[in-house]
Amino acid sequence: MTEIRDVSSYLIGAWCPPDAEARPIHDAATGRQLARAGHGSLDTAGILRHAREVGGPALRQLSFHDRARMIKALAQHLDANKQALYDLSFSTGATLRDHAFDIDGGIGTLFVFASKARREMPDATVYVDGPVEALSRDGSFVGQHICTPLRGAAIHINAFNFPVWGMLEKLAPTWLAGMPAIVKPATATCHVTELAVRIMLDSGHVPDGALQLVCGGIGDMLDHVSGQDVISFTGSAETAARLRSTPAIQREATRFSAEQDSLNATILGPDVPPDAPEFDLFVSEVIREMTVKAGQKCTAIRRILVPADAIDPVITALCARLSRITIGAADDPETDMGPLVSSAQCADVRAKAALIASEAACVFGDPDAPPPVPGGAFFAPLLFFCRDPDAAHLVHETEAFGPVATLMPYRDLDHAVALANRGQGSLVASLITHDPEVARTVTLGAAACHGRIYLADRTTMKAGSGHGAPLPHMIHGGPGRAGGGEELGGIRAVLHYMQRTAVQGSPDMLRAITGRHVPGATPVPAPAHPFTRGFDALHIGETLETEARTVTLDDIETFAHFTGDTFYAHMDDAAAARNPFFPGRVAHGYLLLSFAAGLFVHPEEGPVLANTGLDALRFLKPVSPGDSVSVLLTVMSKTPRNPAYGEVRWHVKIKNQNAEPVAEYELLTMNAFDTPAA
């Protein structure tokens, strides 16, 4: 007889084994008790305090790039140790293919967030949100939104189906924001989460207090939340509604984000005949969504919307494919689909399927058949067909969280959209079409009710990620029935754990706070030409003012003929003067940029390695022959890219002889940390 595994919690810096009031965890395939987890009582106030007082300060002293490096190191460490997670995870009913979503997908999410944070966030502790807002005409009073980490704890309440991904996809943005997390996995699969936590803690990369794990019940923790905490919930709509109404959450206006199971639909475009590649793609997509994780996926396809005249070939194709699905032990490489997570889950799916059966005919499988494999939580796929989806309502409301889906016919695109929206808010809808107009109609009709719309055709077959896979780049969540929350979506996800604050004041004050130069701030004199100074030596606000150069008609002629840009505004005085923008012939914009570079560039070999780009160039006033231009070049911000060099963003202002700005832009260069030896 196998020993029963003790699944511990990690609380206030220590592993705490389960106690006498622990709950049992069963093997999905055999139903035997495998482990136990949980505690009779928890010091929930102490757990929150530890997160707030130890974890928060530790994370907040790291920059966004430091946090990104920590997350990348954790991803690498998990990746190196993932076999242990695979081995343990079979006991939850997850197959190797399922591990790719849960374990590899979770690790991949960490990698993407680490990489996006280093690309899209500064190496600082303040995130600058949006542009500087001019709040006064004279530029003396400006505004800037900043985001800073909330000072509380992030409480992550996760679902059983993705014990690894479900934790990691929330941890990455939480930690990037600078918030500590308290992870409460669903008990049925918390032994896998516990192992992932052990691997992460063993790596030595997690700061004290940044991660706590509560296996079993969460006790009265939600009664102790404040307005600086965040609750991020994944699970059933019923549980979400119950938790959401906790008095402390209402009173403290605590952020509560819910991602709930939903009645996701897929739509076969009316343009797709049975012999088109999109038809096969559609069938494969449905089969995959019904069988990955045995359909226990919040994004799985529950409703299959098909043009009325395509119902027969679709049923035929789906039944043929479903009949070839091999159900068996999760660790058997021949298995297509493992068991559900528990026999309780089987009973629930069976009950929900019975509700669906009251409105739809079963066209594959038999709701009353005995389990396909005896002993554990095995459940064979069921495909229903609902002939009148307008009159029906249970098929749009009842989520059987297993390999169960319902086919429905639609008359036209408006009907398809209306049926998709009958889900009352879903995480995802997909549409298989090769017609951009069909894609436009369905997307604009369904977008308000869906957090994600997945469009597939022959051109995305190779690279498309599939209906069911949330990607770290794109938001995951949906309105109404889907919970109203939003996760992932790149840096958007990080901001859920930060407070956005409008800061108003003088340009000098804003520069001191954001660490970025703000146009209008007092220039900092440059002790030497900034192109002679290493990345680390440059000060924010350091400004070089150049000599002036007169732009002659001859310059314009020369430039036009050299480059081939003989646009009439530069060459034809009368035509230029007819133009609403120009008094007559004017200098080329690129001539001004080029002359500006000629004025500010320091030619000798030095720390400036390359001009890598330019942003937000605006030409503000035309330059006529005889005008002269000079340049103000100011260090705006700096972002290290590797140990050898970093990106410097310069604010460039070209002005004319009357000190009027003629062009402004932001210039990017890559600068070495130290002046290379001669």
- The tokens 């780009």 sit on which residue? 613
Interacting residues with its own copies between 259 and 278 (CB under 8 A): 260
Amino acid at 469: A
Burial class (CB in 10 A: 0-12, 13-18, 19+), 49: middle
Interacting residues with its own copies between 524 and 553 (CB under 8 A): 549
CB of 239 to its own copies, least distance (A): 12
Q: How far is CA 252 from CA 3, 141, 498, in A?
A: 45, 33, 16
CB of 567 to its own copies, least distance (A): 5
Please name which of 27, 34, 108, 36 lies closest in space to residue 331, comparing C-alpha atoms.
Answer: 27
Contact criterion met (CB below 8 Å) for 32 and 332: no
CB of 443 to its own copies, least distance (A): 5
Q: How many Å apart are CA 62 and CA 54, to the nearest integer?
A: 13
Q: Kind and range of the H or E element at 599?
A: helix 589-600
- Please count the other Cβ atoms lying within 10 Å of the Cβ belonging to residue 200: 25
**Active-site residue, from 169, 194, 259, 399:** 259
- Give yes or no for residue 414 binding its own copies (CB under 8 A): no
Active site annotation includes 285: no
511, 517, 585, 651: which one binds its own copies (CB under 8 A): 511
The encoded tokens of residue 643 equal 């140990």
- Please count the other Cβ atoms lying within 10 Å of the Cβ belonging to residue 367: 16
Considering only the stretches 75-83, 222-230, 314-322, 630-638, report the one whose residues sit in contact with its own copies under the rule CB under 8 A.
222-230
CB of 295 to its own copies, least distance (A): 21
Considering only the stretches 205-213, 301-309, 315-323, 454-462, report the one whose residues sit in contact with its own copies under the rule CB under 8 A.
454-462
Active site annotation includes 120: no
CB of 201 to its own copies, least distance (A): 27
- Please count the other Cβ atoms lying within 10 Å of the Cβ belonging to residue 309: 10
* CB nearer to its own copies: pick between 374 and 603: 603
- Give yes or no for residue 424 binding its own copies (CB under 8 A): yes
Contact criterion met (CB below 8 Å) for 168 and 104: no
50, 452, 638, 655: which one binds its own copies (CB under 8 A): 452
- Give yes or no for residue 450 binding its own copies (CB under 8 A): yes
CB of 490 to its own copies, least distance (A): 7
Interacting residues with its own copies between 575 and 594 (CB under 8 A): 575, 578-582, 588-591, 593-594
- Give yes or no for residue 138 binding its own copies (CB under 8 A): yes
Q: How many Å apart are CA 547 and CA 558, to the nearest integer?
A: 22
Contact criterion met (CB below 8 Å) for 180 and 56: yes
Considering only the stretches 154-162, 194-202, 378-386, 452-460, report the one whose residues sit in contact with its own copies under the rule CB under 8 A.
452-460
Interacting residues with its own copies between 117 and 136 (CB under 8 A): 125-126, 130, 133, 135-136
* Residue-by-residue DSSP string for 13-77: TEEE---TTPEEEE-TTT--EEEEE--S---HHHHHHHIIIIIHHHHHTS-HHHHHHHHHHHHHH
- Give yes or no for residue 295 binding its own copies (CB under 8 A): no
* CB nearer to its own copies: pick between 105 and 163: 105
- Give yes or no for residue 486 binding its own copies (CB under 8 A): yes
24, 31, 57, 143: which one binds its own copies (CB under 8 A): 143
- Residues paired with 544 in a beta bridge: 633
**Active-site residue, from 298, 346, 386, 449:** 298
17, 40, 347, 500: which one binds its own copies (CB under 8 A): 500
Q: Kind and range of the H or E element at 89?
A: helix 82-89
- Give yes or no for residue 675 binding its own copies (CB under 8 A): no
Contact criterion met (CB below 8 Å) for 583 and 589: no
The catalytic residues are 259, 298
